[in-house]
Amino acid sequence: MAKVQQLQKGSSSARSDDIKTLKSAILDWLIAPGDTLYPSISANVKANCGFRHEATGALLCPVGIDWNNLEIKQKIKSGKLSVSGDQWPIMLYASHTYDQNSPWKGLLRSSILIKIFAPPSGSRNAITHAITITSVTPASIAYAATHARFALSSSAVFSQSNTITESELFYNCMIDHLEDPNNVREVDHLLAWWDRLMFPKHAPTSSLASKNSVLAKIRAKRKATKLAALVNPVTSLTQC
């Protein structure tokens, strides 16, 4: 439940503003200036979003699934092939491209996430301003990704227990991945990338501090535990 509480940090009105902002803004980001979506989508009628629309469906399509496969696409639309909260959408990746040989490449560096943190000129306030952060953290990235996913979905009301979007499961999986001690190196690089992008003046301090980060200490502890298990496997098994 602690992770879910992170998702719910801040006032309910602030979260509501984030949702309202993204619901309309994200549709504008899907197309080039001067172009239009076909069929058109109204920000006030989310029933036509999600997997029911070609544009939003392509972005929500889970990594590893070919949205251009008509048979698979139809199964997703009809509900015969369900998409759960632990399946990450391609929209999380830079250029919406996934490299199966390098899963971390471009992960959580997509243009949609960038626009959420730093929207184009003329757009409404960024989520970074709404939740008042001065550095990008795993929680803020997961928060932005969760709301982006919901904004693209066909669900009208944001709810952690929604069985269609499974926002709670999605957020928890994201946090688990970013806080996994085995991913410390990749996460440090990711956070440094975001800090350089969003807070360039603070980037040097952030990158130096990563050596003493909690994630680094957790990884060191795990390595020590594994080493102890190799030296004295019987004792380790007894302790478990």
pLDDT digits (tens, 9 = 90+) for 60-105: 999 999 999 999 999 999 989 999 999 999 999 999 999 999 999 9
Place of tokens 């990711």: 190
**Cα–Cα distance between 222 and 123 in angstroms, integer?**
44
**Residues near 123 by beta carbon (within 8 Å), at least 6 away in sequence:** 25, 28, 115
**The pLDDT value given to residue 219:** 65
What are the phi and psi torsion angles at 120 (to 5°)? -60, 160
Q: Please list, in sequence order, all residues whose beta carbon lies within 8 angstroms of the beta carbon of residue 9, skipping any fewer than 6 positions away.
A: 131, 139
pTM over 0.85: no
What are 8-35's pLDDT values in tens digits? Answer: 443 343 455 566 677 778 888 887 777 7
Decide: 155 and 56 in contact? Cβ < 8 Å: no
Q: For residue 154, count other CB atoms closer than 10 A to its CB.
A: 18
